[in-house]
Amino acid sequence: MKGAFRGSPVLKLVAQRIALGIFLLFAVSVLIFAGTQILPGDVAQSILGQSATPEAVANLRQELGLNDPAYMRYFQWVGGVLTGDLGKALTTRQEITVTLMPRLWNTLFLAFWAAAVSIPLSIILGLIAVRFRNGPVDKAISGFALASTSLPEFFIGYLLILFLAVKLQWFPSISTVYDGMPFLEKLKAIVLPVIALVIVVLAHMMRMTRAAILNVMQSAYIETAELKGLSALDIICKHAFPNAIAPIVNVVMLNMAYLVVGVVVIEVIFVYPGMGQYLVDHVVKRDVPVVQAVGLIFAAVYIGLNIVADVAAILANPRLRHPK
């Protein structure tokens, strides 16, 4: 009973974060739907073309339910989403779920390998920067971080294509993957977009790791560890880093959310068959149901990973785990 009582503040905070996430996702769904409805032009006219007769446009509007009130169409859409039905694409008349899932897995595959490289590398570089703080190594790492942060994604992508694909011909410039493709070939195909994503997110995570550890290094127990004669590396890795894990986990989760949601530019540059490329293709075609589905999935991933970051920060706080 006592243990359950002690755990109740943590459970309450976790429940609050989850409830807030659900509310935010509902609010985002309203914004996504409203945003697609207020776009200029007529969807039926865009599908049929300017040469279509008014009768044909009117029939298609009736078929697509565009004459129904907006609130009815919203609740029909949300009701379908809750049952796993994302609707049909207007341009191909295929089930969106069928065409979307392979794209989603491709995006998750790309994001996984970018995270697998960037997360440990950023933590290692952050620890090295703290170990040699204010020295040449620290300044070199911080300078690289600032430089990479200042470069836009498309510029990084085109530089990688120019040097590694065109001039050196080490990797393909177009990252084509498909079902049944050998695993090693698939990894080789995504090397350039992975490098681009790593460069984009590495600096933020590294700088946060460095700042969080340096903040902990000002604590009294760190001075005690120094007086005991422990090496600087032991103090950083065994004492400072574990107590700085909460803000580090938070920024890692935020960047993981970006790796899934913010890959649109990278996927377009490398013609990668993921969610971002899929979204851009159907925005051009004005395929509203696809845009709504992709936007909602992106929002759900981003909100979900933010909830995970909040929960991890709560669980990492000893004052909440062991209240007096």
Mean pLDDT is lowest, of 56-60, 147-151, 208-212, for 56-60
Rounded to whole angstroms, how far apart are CA atoms 300 and 306?
A: 10
Rounded to whole angstroms, how far apart are CA atoms 164 and 166?
A: 6
Rounded to whole angstroms, how far apart are CA atoms 258 and 99?
A: 23
All residues at 6 or more sequence positions from 115 whose CB lies less than 8 Å from its CB, including other chains? 255, 256, 259
Rounded to whole angstroms, how far apart are CA atoms 244 and 230?
A: 19
pLDDT at 95 over 50: yes
pLDDT for position 48: 66
Rounded to whole angstroms, how far apart are CA atoms 306 and 250?
A: 8
Residue with tokens 């969610």: 275
pLDDT at 324 over 60: no
Residue with tokens 């996504």: 32
pLDDT for position 2: 47
Rounded to whole angstroms, how far apart are CA atoms 173 and 192?
A: 8
pLDDT for position 27: 93
Average pLDDT in the chain: 81
CB 24 within 8 A of CB 304: no
Rounded to whole angstroms, how far apart are CA atoms 196 and 289?
A: 30
Domain extent listing, the chain: 102-283
280-286, Cβ contacts within 8 angstroms, sequence gap of 24 or more: 282/89, 282/91, 285/46, 285/90, 285/91, 286/39, 286/41, 286/43, 286/46, 286/47, 286/90
User: Sign of the CA dihedral 292, 294, 298, 300?
Assistant: positive
Q: Six-digit token pair at 43?
A: 């969807």
167-181 average pLDDT score: 86
In terms of pLDDT, which residue wins out, 66 or 259?
Answer: 259
What is the CATH superfamily name and number for domain 102-283?
A: MetI-like (1.10.3720.10)
276-287 average pLDDT score: 83
